[in-house]
Amino acid sequence: MKLVQVLGPGCAKCQALLKNAEEAVKQLGIEAHIEKVSDINMITSFGVMMTPALVVDGELKLQGKVASVEEIKQMLAS
């Protein structure tokens, strides 16, 4: 099971990234736990300077933008 974390304080962009991540997991039909992380200390522990950010299985995949569903699907497949 993959761990997908959406990092950000809860802004509109963070919510959009969360929604896209949920849709990507659904379309791929994979088992994944999707987690919203808003704790600033945890966010900075990943080296993130701009939110929203996306972390898959502990690896920072994206920061500072909202990825599309297709982009997230590619990140989850690799």
Q: Which of 4, 6, 7, 14 is an active site residue? A: 14
Q: Which of 2, 9, 10, 11 is an active site residue? A: 11
Does 24 participate in catalysis according to the annotation?
no
- Other Cβ atoms less than 10 A from the Cβ of 47: the count is 9
Give the Cα-Cα-Cα angle 65, 67, 69 (nearest 5 degrees): 165
Does 10 participate in catalysis according to the annotation?
no
User: Could you give the strand order of the β-sheet that contains 2-7, starting from the edge strand earlier in sequence?
Assistant: 32-37, 2-7, 53-56, 59-63
Catalytic residues: 11, 14
